[in-house]
Every structure is written in C-alpha cells, then in structure tokens.
Amino acid sequence: MLSFRQKIFLSYIAVFLMFIALIFPFATHTVNDIVSKSMVERADELIEILQNAPNDAGMISSLKNMKHKVFFRVGVYDNTKKVLYDSHAKRKLGPKFSTEHVVEHPEVVQAYERGTGTHEEYSDISEQKMYYLARAFDFNQKIYVLRVAVPYQYVADFTQNFEMGFLGLATAILLLFTFMTWFIINHLTNPIQKIIEGIRPYQEGQVQVLPRIEVHTSNPNDDFGRLAKTLNSLSERIQSHIDIITEERNEKLSILESLMEGIVSVDEKNKIIYANKAALGFLRTDSVSILGKDFEETIFPFCSKMLLSCMTQNVILSDFMTVEREGKSLYFNLIAAPKNAETGAVLVMQDQTFHHRTMEMRKEFIANASHELKTPITIIRGFAEALHDNSDLPPEVMTDITGKIVRNCKRMTNLIKDLLTLSDIEHLSESRFQQCDVLHVIEDCISILSEAYPTAIANMHYDETGSYLLTADAKLLELAFVNIMENAAKYSESPAEIDVTITSDSKFVTVSIADKGIGIPENELEYIFHRFFTVNKAHSQKLGGAGLGLSLVESIIEKHNGKIIVESKLGEGSRFTITLPVNEKKFD
C-alpha cells in the first residue's frame, strides 16, 4: 500500500504529464492568436495609409513602395473581387497575369463576408506554404480587400519557440512548486511518520504491548503533539482492555482445561477451533493435529452429526455413546449446543465410565453380599430344620450339625464385620490418626497370625538403627497386615513361611510381605482388590473367605495416602509391597 508521501509524489507526476499533454494545443492556439492579431494590426496600419491615396493607382503605388517593409506578399482586390495588385503574382506569371482575374481565395471571400479572413495553404507562386490574412476596408465608398501573407514557416518557428519557452517556464515553475510542496508536506507529515514507526512493531507482532509514541515538535501543544497525546491515551486504554480481555481469556481457558469434561468448539463449517485437554485425551490426538479439521475426521464421527444437527435446528441436543477401546468399554454423555449468531457449536463430552462402573460395582456388591449371606443362612436353616424335625438324632450327628451351624454363623459374623469395617473406613475421622511404630504393629500382627495358624513361620527383616514411626491408625494398619499374612498362610502348604521386610527413609516406610504359596494367575492380578473377588472360589468357600480381605487392605492403604503393589508367580508365591508416607494424612 502506498504511503501518503508516495501518493502526493505520484499525483504531481500525473499533474505534470497532464500539463504536458494540454500545454501544446494551448500554446499553438495562443501563438496563432498572437500572429493573427499582429498581422491584423499591421494590416490596419497599411489600410490607414492606403485610404489616404487619391485613387486606385495611388493606392497601388503606395503598396509598391512599402511592400518589403511590411509583409512578404501583399495584394489588393476591388469591390468586384478583381486583382488590382499582387506583389508576387505579376512577377511569377508574367503575361498571364490579368487585373480582370476574379479571385475566390477562402480568406478573401471571408473578408468580403465578415470583414476578416485567414487561411493556410501551399502557394505555387511562392513555392511554399503561406499564412494568409485578408482584411476588408472602405475606399471611395467601395469595399476593398487587402490580402497579406507571410511564410508559414515563420509562424511555425515562432510557435515552436514560444511553446518550448512556455513549456520550459511552466515546467520550472511546476518543479519548484512540487519541491516546495514536497518539502512542506514532508515537514508536516514527519510527526505522522514517527507515529506510524512507533506503532509498527506492535502491528507486526514484534512486541505485545502498545509502545508509547514520542513526537518531537517545536510546540508540544500543536496538532501533532495533541494527536500523539491522544494516541498514547488511547493506547493505554486499549492496552488496559487487552490486559483485561487476556486475563479473562486465560482464566476461562484455565477453567476449561481443568474440567474433567471434554470441551470441543467448532465453527459454522464444523471445523474444530478449540479442544481442551480432556477432549484431546478422549479423541486420542493433540491440538496441532486436530485444530482446523472437520469433526467428521475424528474418531467420533457420530458427534459430528450431532453438532451439525444442533446448528441446523438451533437447539441443544443430548445423547449417550459407548466406545470400545483396548478391550474396555467407555461411556460418554454428549451435549451439543449451538453458539450465538450462528457462529458454530460446542460439544461437551462427559466421561461416565467411572460412574457407570461404580453403579455396576454397587449392583455387583449387593448381589455378592446377598449371595454370601444367603449361603450360610440357607445352611443354618437347613440344619435347624433337621434338628427340629429329628429331635432323636444321635449325639455325634447332633454335634456335627451344631458345629456346622456355629461355623456358618461365624462366617456371617465375619462377613458383616468386614462390611461394617469397609463402611467405617469410608468415614474415617482425623482423631484416629496418631503416631505409631510400624515395628510394633507388625509384631502384633505376627502374634495374631501365630494364634490362628500355629504352624506358620513369620520372619521380620529390618534395620535396627532405622526409624519406623509414622502418623496412622494403628488398628487399621494391623487389620491390613493381618489380612495379607493370613492369606499367605491360607494359600501356602503347611508350614507356611512368610517373610516381612521393613525399610524406611525420611519420607516413606515400606513393608514387604512375601510368601511361598500357590501364587496368583497373572490374568487375575488386576482383580484381586475388587470386592468379593476370589481366585479359587471352591478353595475360598472351604476356608471361609468371602473375597473382602484384600479390598479392605486397599481401602486402608488408600486412606493413609499410600500405595500397594502385588507381584506373584503361579506355584512360586506372592509379594505384597506397601509404601506409606511418614507424615501425610488423607481424609474425606
């Protein structure tokens, strides 16, 4: 784009060329007027002399005496258009010249009709192009015409000299005026140029803040000084608004990025213009790859149809979608809402997988709990009915039946106790967390294990110089460790051998419990902490297990903000590694 100065310069060039184009016909017309007026004046002077002649002969005599002092060629015609005198015709024509010849020269005819006539043409007598002027005058109460001529070359030379001189003068004046105008405009627009140069870095994106404009003028309060102050004031206000808008935009982006829901914004052509972090995770892509693409090209083309429909109908649409990914089912609630002014739409993707799995787990939990309670109740009822219907049973049969009733009652009691413990863990209070020594907790666990499994051998390994103090609920930790140790004893051949290794540093206490039992199949390792899950159901029922022990362990460790990792090989044994922070607590 041309600058203001360049436009001025080009305008002057255009004006100059236009001036050149118009100057020549104007100069030619001016010269012709000058020549014509000059010849008229000289002809009038000559006519004034001729009018003083007594007769035609005297007039002719006067012309002969003055012809070389006035014009190149002179002729006089009487009122009948006959030639009285021609300074060149008689000499050139000789005997052929006759005063009875009536002329029809255009300029002579014009003079008889209008008083004055002019014409340009080639003359055979003069052998060159001539410029003629005919002037009518009254002589002895008759109309005569004086015809004079000059070589046209004289007029052409005069015209050319006049045009060149006029053109040179006009050009000099125009150039001088252009230079002066350029200088004045340059001086006046220099502050504007300074303003433009000051703003250009911001316009080109080199700086993020509008720079302050400094204009050096002789008078800071002149128009340009006030303009600079006004622009600086506007720049400050604009920058303030930009800062506010940027801050609001960043805050909104932070909120959008922190949401668990996936947010995708598309324009009216269904092109993706924004996607937050959660949405990129759902779509398995990144912002560089997805921005500017049609939503139809994503892995969820079904959502594209929703977006197009909501924009077409201008209504909010919702739907549910299930996606299979890596052998697992993911569940999404979808909401498509049109934006204002038909500028596109927004898609909200709510991951309901956890909620769906929680609901499934609740259903499964209720079903499993009901089943686990129903089984011993059924057994107890059956044996109770047998006792009721057969009061004369032998003592040994009676003892066997009552023993089974007692075992199933204990099984129900333990199941209910575990369920109540799980509920208690979910609502753990801060007051129960006190400083405790993990060594003492492990020693108590080994004592409890020895009472339940007298043949089991538990060995402790630890650094006697180390510190194993941490903030925890000692009873819950004891319950967690005992569950792991009892499982190790249950699922090992007698005598069970259990190694307990305790280590610590400034931040964590780590307890590792290893056995040499039957182990856990690799494909079931990820499920062992699920409630009511048992690896070998027949074996678990035989030993009285309901599948809540390891679920309790995981819940207790999570409440202490710790981690539990299990390693196992089928037929070789298992190792449970528990890492607990020394000072951190976690409450709901």
Average pLDDT, the chain: 80
Res 346: pLDDT: 92
DSSP 188: H
Q: Is 90 exceeded by the pLDDT of residue 501? A: yes
- CA 148, distance to chain mean position in Å, is 86
Measured CA angle at 279 (ends 273, 281), to 5 deg? 125
In angstroms, rounded to a whole number, what is the distance separating the alpha carbons of residues 47 and 33? 20
HEC sequence for 366-398: HHHHHHHHHHHHHHHHHHHHHHHHCCCCCHHHH
Q: Is 306 exposed, middle or buried (0-12, 13-18, 19+ CB in 10 A)?
A: buried
For the segment 493-522, the average pLDDT, to the nearest whole number, is: 91
For the segment 52-60, the average pLDDT, to the nearest whole number, is: 85
In angstroms, rounded to a whole number, what is the distance separating the alpha carbons of residues 280 and 274? 10
* Tokens 């045009």, residue located: 163
Confidence of residue 367 (pLDDT cuts 50, 70, 90): low
Q: Is 559 exposed, middle or buried (0-12, 13-18, 19+ CB in 10 A)?
A: buried
- CA 388, distance to chain mean position in Å, is 84
Q: Which amino acid is at 1?
A: M
Phi, psi of 179 (to 5 degrees): -60, -45
Res 538: pLDDT: 43
Instruction: Give percent of the chain above pLDDT 90.
Output: 13
Name the least confident of 6-15, 229-238, 376-385: 6-15
Q: Which amino acid is at 462?
A: Y
In angstroms, rounded to a whole number, what is the distance separating the alpha carbons of residues 195 and 189? 10
In angstroms, rounded to a whole number, what is the distance separating the alpha carbons of residues 80 and 99? 11
Dump strand ranges (E) for 40-181. Answer: 73-77, 83-86, 116-123, 128-139, 142-151
Look up residue 475 and give its two tokens.
């009873």
**In which element (H, E) is residue 363 found?**
helix 353-389
For the segment 71-83, the average pLDDT, to the nearest whole number, is: 82
Q: Is 80 exceeded by the pLDDT of residue 458? A: yes
Confidence of residue 364 (pLDDT cuts 50, 70, 90): low
In angstroms, rounded to a whole number, what is the distance separating the alpha carbons of residues 573 and 493? 11
**Residue scoring higher pLDDT (4 or 57):** 57
**Residue scoring higher pLDDT (500 or 298):** 500
DSSP SS3 for 466:
coil
**In which element (H, E) is residue 401 found?**
helix 395-426
> Can you spell out the DSSP letters for 497-538?
EEEEEEEE-SSEEEEEEEE-SS---GGGGGGTTSTT--SSHH
Contacts of 157 (CB under 8 A, 6+ apart): none
For the segment 338-350, the average pLDDT, to the nearest whole number, is: 88
Look up residue 538 and give its two tokens.
């027949």
Query: pLDDT tens for residues 430-439?
Result: 777 889 999 9
In angstroms, rounded to a whole number, what is the distance separating the alpha carbons of residues 579 and 510? 4
190: left (phi over 0), alpha (psi -120 to 50) or beta: alpha
DSSP SS3 for 166:
helix
Contacts of 61 (CB under 8 A, 6+ apart): 53
In angstroms, rounded to a whole number, what is the distance separating the alpha carbons of residues 28 and 35? 10
DSSP 270: S
**R_g of the chain, CA atoms, integer Å:** 60
Confidence of residue 575 (pLDDT cuts 50, 70, 90): very high
For the segment 34-45, the average pLDDT, to the nearest whole number, is: 83
Q: Are 489 and 452 in contact (CB under 8 A)?
A: yes
Query: pLDDT tens for residues 460-483?
Result: 999 988 899 998 888 888 888 988
**In which element (H, E) is residue 350 found?**
strand 345-351
Contacts of 286 (CB under 8 A, 6+ apart): 280
**Residue scoring higher pLDDT (314 or 354):** 314
For the segment 226-251, the average pLDDT, to the nearest whole number, is: 78
In the chain, what's the furthest Cα-to-Cα distance?
Answer: 194
Confidence of residue 579 (pLDDT cuts 50, 70, 90): very high
In angstroms, rounded to a whole number, what is the distance separating the alpha carbons of residues 13 and 11? 5
End-to-end Cα distance, the chain? 66
Confidence of residue 566 (pLDDT cuts 50, 70, 90): very high
**In which element (H, E) is residue 471 found?**
strand 469-472
**In which element (H, E) is residue 328 found?**
strand 328-338
Instruction: Give percent of the chain above pLDDT 70.
Output: 80
Confidence of residue 515 (pLDDT cuts 50, 70, 90): very high
* Tokens 């043409």, residue located: 121
Q: Is 487 exposed, middle or buried (0-12, 13-18, 19+ CB in 10 A)?
A: buried
- CA 586, distance to chain mean position in Å, is 43
Res 160: pLDDT: 75
Query: pLDDT tens for residues 57-72?
Result: 888 888 777 755 556 7
Domains of the chain: residue spans and CATH: 4-159 (3.30.450.20), 259-351 (3.30.450.20), 358-423 (1.10.287.130), 430-581 (3.30.565.10)
Res 71: pLDDT: 64
In angstroms, rounded to a whole number, what is the distance separating the alpha carbons of residues 365 and 180? 97
**Residue scoring higher pLDDT (120 or 416):** 120
Res 588: pLDDT: 44
Nearest to 51 by CA among 43, 41, 59, 63: 59
Res 534: pLDDT: 60
Q: Is 80 exceeded by the pLDDT of residue 520? A: yes
Query: pLDDT tens for residues 175-214?
Result: 787 777 777 777 666 766 777 777 777 777 777 666 676 6
Confidence of residue 229 (pLDDT cuts 50, 70, 90): confident
Q: Is 90 exceeded by the pLDDT of residue 563? A: yes
In angstroms, rounded to a whole number, what is the distance separating the alpha carbons of residues 403 and 96? 175
Q: Is 50 exceeded by the pLDDT of residue 148? A: yes
**In which element (H, E) is residue 346 found?**
strand 345-351
- CA 190, distance to chain mean position in Å, is 35
Q: Is 60 exceeded by the pLDDT of residue 544? A: no
Res 586: pLDDT: 46
CA-to-CA dists, residue 20 to 31, 73, 146, 322, 581, angstroms: 17, 36, 39, 82, 96
Res 214: pLDDT: 67
Query: pLDDT tens for residues 322-340?
Result: 888 777 788 888 999 999 8
Of 110-119, 362-371, 550-559, where does the model show the most confidence?
110-119
Q: Is 80 exceeded by the pLDDT of residue 134? A: yes
- CA 267, distance to chain mean position in Å, is 12
Nearest to 413 by CA among 377, 462, 452, 389: 377
Q: Are 539 and 484 in contact (CB under 8 A)?
A: no
Name the least confident of 232-241, 515-524, 528-537: 528-537
Sheet of strand 508-515: strand arrangement: 457-462, 497-504, 508-515, 573-581, 563-569
